[in-house]
Amino acid sequence: MPQASQELLDTLNLAAAATVVEREFRLADFARLVDRLATADGVAVARMTLRTAGGVPAGELEVCAETLLTCERCLRPMRRTLRSTSQLAFVESEDTPAPADHEAIPGDPRRVNLAGLVEDELLLSLPLIAIHGKGDECIPLASQVSGGAGEGPSSQERRRPFAGLKELLKH
């Protein structure tokens, strides 16, 4: 799939021809989104199925991205697939009525910034609070600090040199 972070779509023509536009974006190019991620690595895949609805160009935009967030409970990375599907209508101005069940995107329908729409969708798909889900290992910070200090192989190894020293002093 071509990468096209600066591409502007002519949704009038694309809708008239019932075109399906598929693009791949680097997450690193989404400055607002990257602020919320643990790493900027990865891509977002977008597919927009265009058609004319109610006399204006419209599109079903599907967005999917594998992201790494920071768990707010244990501060370790957690995987989260962001996914969304939305019905958009590209209208000339705020006053132009959008077809029912469509979100109006005001602006020049011949110059639609797909990357901006994809980033908006991903931002809306972020969990309100990022916390490891069921089946993931999530260790709250408090027990990460207190746990491990009193037990485990590291403290046993600390004891052993003294045991060895006692043995040496006996002889």
Query: Which residues sit at the interface with Zn ion, rule CB under 5 A?
Result: 71, 73-74, 132, 138
Q: Is residue 153 helix, strand or coil?
A: helix
Provide the 8-state DSSP code for 98: P
* Cα 134 → chain centroid: 19
Q: Which is nearer to Zn ion, 104 or 130 (CB)?
A: 130
Q: Which is nearer to Zn ion, 80 or 102 (CB)?
A: 80
- Least gap, CB of 73 to Zn ion (angstroms): 5
Beta strands in the chain (DSSP E): 8-9, 20-26, 43-53, 56-70, 77-91, 103-106, 112-113
- Least gap, CB of 52 to Zn ion (angstroms): 46
Q: Which is nearer to Zn ion, 33 or 38 (CB)?
A: 38
Q: Which is nearer to Zn ion, 26 or 73 (CB)?
A: 73
- Least gap, CB of 76 to Zn ion (angstroms): 6
C-alpha span between 73 and 51 (Å, rounded): 44
Residues 6 or more apart from 45 whose CB is under 8 A from it? 1, 22, 23, 24, 63, 64, 65
C-alpha span between 137 and 90 (Å, rounded): 44
- Least gap, CB of 113 to Zn ion (angstroms): 35
- Least gap, CB of 139 to Zn ion (angstroms): 7
Q: Which is nearer to Zn ion, 76 or 110 (CB)?
A: 76
